[in-house]
Structure 1
Amino acid sequence: MAAQSTPQAARERAAELARVLAEHSRAYYIEAEPTVSDAEYDRLFRELEQLESDYPALATADSPTQRVGAPPVDDFPSVDHATPMLSLANCFDDEELAEFDRRAREGVGVDELAYCAEPKFDGTALNLRYEAGVLVRATTRGDGVTGEDITANARTIRNLPLRLTAENPPDFVEIRGEVVLPRSRFEELNERLEADGQKAFVNPRNAAAGSLRQLDSRITATRPLVFMGYGIGRVDGASLTDSLYGQLQQLADWGFIISPYIDRVTGLAGCTDYYQAMAERRAELDIEIDGCVFKVDDGPSRDELGFVARAPRWAIARKFPAEETTTTLNSVEFQVGRTGALTPVAKLEPVFVGGVTVSNASLHNMDEVARKDIRIGDRVVVRRAGDVIPEVKEVAERGQNTQAIELPEACPVCGSAVERIEGEAIARCTGGLVCAAQRREALKHFASRTALDIEGLGDRQIEAFVAEGLLHSPADIFALKAHRDALLEREGYGEKSVANLLGSIEAAKDTTLERFIFALGIREVGQTMARDLARHFGSLEALQHEAKAYHQRLADVWEQHPDNKAARDRAMAAEGLQAVPGVGARVAQCIADFFTEPRNVEVIEELIAAGVHWPTVDTETTPQPLSGQTVVLTGSLESLTREEAGERLEALGARVTSSVSKKTDYVVAGERAGSKRDKAEKLGVTVLDEAGLLALLEQHRAAVAD
């Protein structure tokens, strides 16, 4: 198509492609916020390559095809590499791979070549400079000749050797590799970022790139990055084998992690077999790969083949198929997670994408469904981006006779009501104590040390009892004595262990109101909130009564102000549930939803009927020295545990919470205190060290004694 264009049309198209690719390159490499998929970028790049091949005059020095990556930014010092970090030519099908093999064989005049075969990591490239075995500099790829000095950040990568493990290291050596973020840690990192009010990363690749380019290396140190070695640049004062496969083994000997899937293969057939094997294994890998790299293994052949302007003639990257395709959305099912969150799952016409056949894909939540205007019957774009779980990216074509996707009113697992708190993207099942999807986690929480503290009923035992049908709700725990004979028949259970378990269950009946409230597992109600609810209402009956009244008032206010959130907030604020310290609209609705779900009420009644009880709570409390003050504990203390410190502060009337806000009065920062101390300083909250805490406790203890 490009070859048939007029020279003027070709010049205009080449200029446009160069501009667009430069913008996408900057978004990817510098801003760590990709604007197009890899497949789309590769398509545009290949179009420009073809134009420059048809019209060589278009191949200017500043063309994206003459660069590798993006130029360095001004935020870091620029450093020249001792030897250029060249890119690799890409191929996208078996024919192109066969053509590469043919050119390589003919270039050195042999019938067959051996190749070093490697997975192509999907991260960000790094060049490490070692002198006398010690790391002295780390630089990004940059434009291939000049990169950015990010040594301070690289030093924070835990698996990156600061000194080579060699008795006689080279006088000078450059190590090349990829910085990646394992899939297993990616979700955890994003959850932490979102909890701190920061923007989540799109995928592990961008998480690695963004983390490595932080101006503050302390931030990089909090990111679980991994360095995977894949090559050696310039080396002085040591002799290396000509074999690239052998050089990778040398990297391992020097202390670097290399891929366990590196291999030495023979001929085109060996490359093809390796590629197919990695495509099948790709989904199970913890580190993302987007293809395979094949390099002529022996040095003399590489020297003879040489380089083109942008890449070596002796290496090629065989990319995996584009990870986006289109198919039909046949229906939608709602899955219920362990916290009760309902996730819409697209049931698709099966389609092959990213090396696997996909028939299910995530729709994330109903806000995303509405934003993308996705309907049953649409042709949709399915993407496998960054993780194993595919997602529906967007609508490709509006189908005929489409059907809107609607949130169910009842939980598809247990039939309890589904509620969606205003301002939240996620809808949840309210049947926390009885929903099978949430059962294991609810039971584990109920029996935990900080709840009813049932010794001998740990996570493993609960999972086994649930699987065997002995436990369906917390009330069933107190009926286990009726299954004593069945317990004795289980492996690892004898008379003594069964007697101890049943004795612990019996002892757990004698608890406190705040422990019982916490044990119920009400969303957003932690230990501190449970204590405040118990002290404020004094009885479970009073709490339940107010929860039901709040639920009704909320319904009335919604009817009065259906489109005015501010008016609803004003009408509900500072009364009933929201009169309890720390209880806002969101927490109040969680409490109201829980106690107005009939199945939860039924389980509570069964627990009380089984003999669970607590003493009456005195709501008439004498003001304490720290009444009304909020304290956050962070870091480790030497003279007492954080739990002990919290108990002593609460005895003086303080509220001990886990999050820092403008309303926090003190943050106690022990050893290794992190972001909470930083946030307190930013907000102007008083920060106490351990000595300051002890002085505060002693001061008010003495005042109380007087």
Structure 2
Amino acid sequence: MPDQDIQQQIAALSKELNDYNYQYYVLAESHISDYAYDHKMKELEALERAYPNFSDPNSPTQKVGGAVTSKFQTVTHKWPMMSLGNTYNAEELSEFDERVRKAVGDQVAYVCELKFDGLSLSITYENGKLLRAVTRGDGNQGDDVTENVKTIRSIPLALNQADYPELFEIRGEVFMHKPAFERLNSARAEANEKVYANPRNFAAGTLKLQDSAEVAKRPLDCFLYFLYTENRNKLFHTHWESIQDLKKWGFQTCEHTQLCTSLQEVLDFVNFWDKQRHFLSYDIDGIVIKVNDYAQQEELGFTAKNPRWAISYKFNAEQVETTLNSVSYQVGRTGAVTPVANLSPVQLAGTTVKRASLHNANEILRLQLHEGDSVYVEKGGEIIPKIIGANATVRKADARPISYPTACPECQTPLVRQEGEAVHYCPNEDGCPPQIIGKMQHFIGRKMMDIEGLGDETIEAFYKAGILHRITDIYQLSNHQQELKQLERFGEKSIEKMLHGIEASKEKPFEKVLFSLGIRHVGDTIAKKLAQHFKHIDQLAAASIEEIAAVQDIGIRIAESVRNYFQESFHQQEIQLLKDAGLQFQVVEKEVVLASESFAGKTFLISGTFANYSREELAAFIESHGGKMLSSISAKLNFLVAGDKMGPAKLAKAEKLNIPIINEEQLLAMRAE
């Protein structure tokens, strides 16, 4: 047969199989038997083996896998995968609706979606072809699992012909249907292999297998539900519109998604699926409610962790009764002592629960817990086990109340409790082993210094071996190579990799170093704000409580914690040693070449949608001419750049403060004035 005919036959078979996948997964139609489908797949595989020069990387045969990944590469999300705020009742959902309407007016519609209990995923497509798939990770960066995702039949490798963007990201949830999970778990049990607790764990474990051929053997599925791309508003005005087009492009979306035009319709949707969820073939644990209009989403914006235009309604958690055997106490890196309930093992929401957090001494008193109590346990948000009460009717007459310790369970130092706080602390931070180990583990963490070759277990092993005593010792490990070689599972290659990772960490920016120090109440976001404001560690260390508290979003509580940290001589010594090691303790300013200084000294805020430019483009224009962007309306604002569908609350506040309100044409004209 001529090569041209072979190539045409391969192309025809590929198209036919892709069409069958689209019909089955997207349209929920089956136009061919499984036997006939498999026969055509084998025919295509045989042709591609015989004529590899005609094989296509986006062929349906690529779903069988074959790539082996020794390590998953970390990828930074272009658009962070933020978590959602949670509600648990109609009152909280009503409060969310009121906040939305106060900001954008009463013309609001919501899209209600089932909240799948799976693994969140971001997939990038370029020119209609799957380019990359990344797990949620910590929200800012995740693992590249592209080869494994390519094996999931409901995720297209190449899209149908349609008017989609050249480059875009689509968000979704990978999961496993309950019947498939039960079938595979039964097979594992028969083979005396470890069984998984629930479909979510099975799906998550599968997606992180190193051999994609093994992934292909497990029937993962995926629903896609959110689009990100540059200038998205020029393609669609609403989230609902985008969902309809996603189907045309070839993506599987959930058929149960609904557009609601009132809060009552949202509540009806929530109540319906609270009862009907048990009849689905997959697990859901709530409903996601999103503001439909993209312009209103932009107007509402984000908090540091969550979008203000979306919220999750969590169904009531499953509850069980079991025995409280004892209470133990864990000491964290900050010295916080957390009580943990040790329970008789019990099945709860698909997992075996043996322990539950009791949070603090106040919680133990509130629950009035006694030794040997029969307690009620549920999973908060169906994730974290917690005790919600005790069954006092079956309590033994001589049962003793649980009493919180007065001394640290690790180093016996008397505990302290600061005024206004519920948590007890061990103040012996430079002599209490869990605190010392915890601080070093925090320092090397992924969002902190991210030192390759050093993990939590390694830190603990080095501490017990007497090699590490404090954070600064990490930068002296090159002097202990002979001692390291004596440790189990630590050869020359491991040592070389670790030392290279330590050296590379010296290039981490000041904000990362500041976060890594583990100052109480100073998280990632606060560290960035402090670094940007004070520019240098010495200026921050010399600042008063009032000066620190004056930084945006920094309150007195954080300011006091920061000030107390830098006043400790032990911390001053640590910082000096880290300076000597070569770490970055000042902000490296990037040179910015301005197009002009037309807006120098002026502040702007952009609100609404615009005909010719996106909000990002207008912000970039302002900053390129020396202007500064603000995030909210205040007396410090010089100009409000207003577009269509601007929130009435912002408009009213700007008018009350007599802030000039301009449109995009007036903004552009100001450049030449």
TM-score (norm 1): 0.37
Considering Cα pairs closer than 8 Å and 6+ residues apart, tell me whether 1 or 2 has the greater RCO: 2
Structure with the greater alpha carbon radius of gyration: 1
TM-score (norm 2): 0.39
